[in-house]
Structure 1
Amino acid sequence: MSGKWFGSVPVKAFNGVHGIGTVGMVSRMSIILDSTHTDPCEDHTVLSDTWRSTSCQWKECVSKEKCDKNLPTGWYRFKSSGGWKIPEFRVAPGHCSTSYPGWLEGSHPTLEQGEVKQTVCFNWDGNLCGWKREIKIKNCSSYFVYELKPTPGCNAAYCTDPNSALTDTCVDHTVLNQPWKSSDCTGTECVGELQCDKDLVYGWYRFNSSGGWKIPEFRAEVRHCSTGSPGWLEDPNSALTDPCVDHTVLNQPWRSSDCTGTECVGQVQCDRDLVYGWYRFNSSGGWKIPETAVPVRRCSTRRPGWLEGSHPTLEQGEVNRTVCFNWKENLCRWKREIKIKNCGSYFVYELKPTPGCNAAYCTVADLSVADPCVNHTVLDQPWRSAECNGTVCSTRKCDNKLNHGWYRFKSSGGWKIPETPIPEGHCSTHRSGWLNGSHPTLEQGVVTRTVCLSWKGKLCHRLHQIKIKNCSHYIVYELKSLQDCDAYCTDPKTAQVQGYPEGFTRQVDKEVSSSVGVAPTSGIIPSPTHEEEPSRQSSDQSSSVPDGTPTSGRIPSPTHGEVSSGQSSDQSSSDPDGTPTSGKSTTGECGGQSDQSPTAQAGSLIPGFLSLSEEDCEAMDVEVQVMYVGNNKLETDEQKAAYIRQVQDMLRPYLPCKKLELTNSQGEKTAQNE
């Protein structure tokens, strides 16, 4: 008969006579045991593991991943704040504090159905039911019991649905009787060592000690509550809870969907350890998570995260969205539920750690809010000049650690990448990078071009794709790190003179520097703007620029008709566009110097001046030349000569030492300052 067990045991009969026992006979008796007397609703094991909740992702609720591989076969009941039932919906990998979460492929039985057979699926390797376990379920009226078996392996575990928790948290909770949690406890004064809740098990708790019964609603000071970083309760009506105000900025260009493999950063990246919270992306690599699928091994990771859906409008405000992680031809192999809020000019995201390594959230550039003509980094590095052969200008330089982003070259070494081949060993590097093509016009906007790297006689030994944008008065480049010791070059002929059309290039910065001890300028002579008289004592000065660009590497321009002192001074100031400037200049009266510099007028081409002492004038044995290179479309020799005379007239009052020679494009001398 089904459900019954048959067995036999020996029985010894006694025949007592006058208290003396004798063995009368030995026989066997059959006993029938009916297993139906064991009701699993009464005879089961309770599993009170809160980490089984589908809300627990990876190690969010525990210190390490969980596994039911060693779970003994038997009847179990789930009972915790993490849930009372196995979920009837598909669960993504990495949830329930395990890699391969188990969910019910079917529904729970009604009370009338009683005990039924069902299948638990384990989501594995992109297969929602990669592994299976046949189980039994019984409806016990107010709860369910499950006959479970060990999982197929690690890390796989049975999940629970937190929405099924029937527990009254006012009754079912854990009491924390720890006086050291008091906000009055500073450092280790209340306990022997600093405390930490890192290993606190996810669940409901009640504080009940002399240290207090409630979490404070005010900002707790650092190193109070017997810990380094005390927790306090934010006012839900406070502006601090607005994620548009209270968020963390991620300035990481390597997240760009254009970054393949490790080309933008030294190693593959991962967001597994990203702290749960609100974030804003703000870098040259992008300001938004892309709304289209990103190929694998992009965004400097193997499993790139992209947004399955669209960003909210300003009217929609905060919305729920899903981020998919692409892997092995499955565009949404892993998922993360996130929140997004439109803050008007940018978006903020409530992000969680990624399902594992190597997976990371991607970004894509939004040119409407990230114009590279505005948002870029200035490279003031004269050593990039194509004229710098070997280590003449500097030690060997490399761009293998250059962060991916938009850049502008602005130095005496040049403002543009050369459009003609540069031999290896130039630009202070081994493999010299030059542009195999032309720069875009203003109308073309952003274009894609190829940078060639010269090596071992091959002018295009290596190739790199970059983006370029014409910003009218200058060019910006979207650059990525290069391999080994390679570097991007600049064309020294493109170092512009501020106040003049492109094409006037100072030729003798190095000679001036070596002769009189004046730091070389960048080919830019800043214009005076207003009068200012500095002191005659040496001083270190610094001034800010409108865009916050650091200042370094140039002779400061006088402002408001600045009258210079007779002693040396270290100064740093800024160009009108925020380009860094710095340097050392020795100043004073020098034959024929006008007492007061002319006032700048709108539209006029008035340079700054280099004021030298008489001693410096005697020591200076060079010719200052300005060469016209024909870039401002003056057609006839008469027009060119007239233009050069105009420049010579402007420069004469400012560079009176020795002589000022001007040459035309044929090298012919045109005028000389007396």
Structure 2
Amino acid sequence: MTVAFSSDPCYNYESLDRPWRANNESGDYICDESFSWSGWYRLFYYGMDIRMPETCVSSYSCNTYYSLWLSDPHPQIEDGVVIREVCGGTYWGACCYYKPNPIRVKACPGNYYVYELVNPQILCSGYCTDVSTISQAVSTVSPDIFTGSTITFNDDPCNNYNILDNYWRNTLNYWSVYGSISDHDDKIVEWDGWYRLFMNGLNAQMPEWCFYYMTCGGYSSLYLGGSHPRLEDGVVTREIYGSHYYQCSRYRSNPIQVKACPGNYYVYKFTRPTLSIPLPVYCAVPFSTPSVDPCYSYTSLDEPWRATDSYYYSNYYYYGMCDYNVEWNGWYRLFYNGQNAQMPESCVNHGMCGTNYPLWLNGPHPQLEDGVVTRQVCVSSWDGCCTYASHPIQIKACPGNYYVYEFVKPMFCGAYCAGPNYGQYTNESDA
């Protein structure tokens, strides 16, 4: 909630309800120097007033590396706006080893405080809140930061939805690739009604599988805990899960409603995610309908080293073949020595398919009637079969019992695998 009545920060602030900032929380490493701080903030804990600590907070608390607290007491109302030093401790026990930028603080009528939080500019640090200062419950409403348009024709959500076109929701927006994490947080969005996802004006949908944390422009990546419905299913309810490091379903958010619409798109009734999840964002993946049927407009890919029994040490350089260096463009059909092939649907051992990191399909291939579908791609490594998830791809089943794939540049120096096709047809002339 942003309250704006005058220039007095007691009535012109942004509500910051982040329970994970509490000094009794730990486990994540959220860095406040990545945030775009602007103006004054009032701190809350599940809707209740809370203050910054005035005593030492050990490092690794408050879900950050270096926990920030006030080295001086909070002011009185008659003090007006004051400047306070901020301290950050270290893992070896020094309570005020770091002194980041000071902040301004003001005591307000109603027994609460407002803080002009700024970029700390020290390593991975975060402002803490003190659970011992929790006071009376207050009523807050999240700010509306929706930037889009609304289409309204009737009560059918397929014709009455908000357009949500945020490219940063893309699963390609991964912090290790871009070097930093954005400070997007869907808990501060005032969700209202149904939404249709786009990316740069193109159709998109929520992923149905886990993505590594710090993906999609936030910290906790939210995905759909189940498949999208069909047209005949009408409105369905789906669980929402959030990732945490390698734990795909560490967080469980509030469920949402989903509906499939004529024209091959979906609408979602997004709700405010659970407050206890650090910086959650609803993820999106591109989903488009090809203008030309890819079953009859594809590139043949016949490279025997992609076989699931091809070990990369036998013929190739240390890391094996690397699809990261390939300029992928359009749709592809897999062959093995002229025979029909397909991507494997189960785990491929690390070091196979002529590469260090084999890429395989984590889900079944579609049926003819499914049309174009989106599927997750898993990366096998020393740590397991699907320790990492690469970018999703689109797939279509074609008459003649073969598949075409819209391959994209993977996130790792791995390669798409090719395995046997188990159908009736075994070569291109049968298609």
- Tell me, yes or no, whether TM beats 0.5: no
Normalising by structure 2, we get a TM-score of 0.41
The structure where strand makes up a greater share of residues is: 2
Give the greater-gyration-radius structure (CA). Answer: 1
Normalising by structure 1, we get a TM-score of 0.28
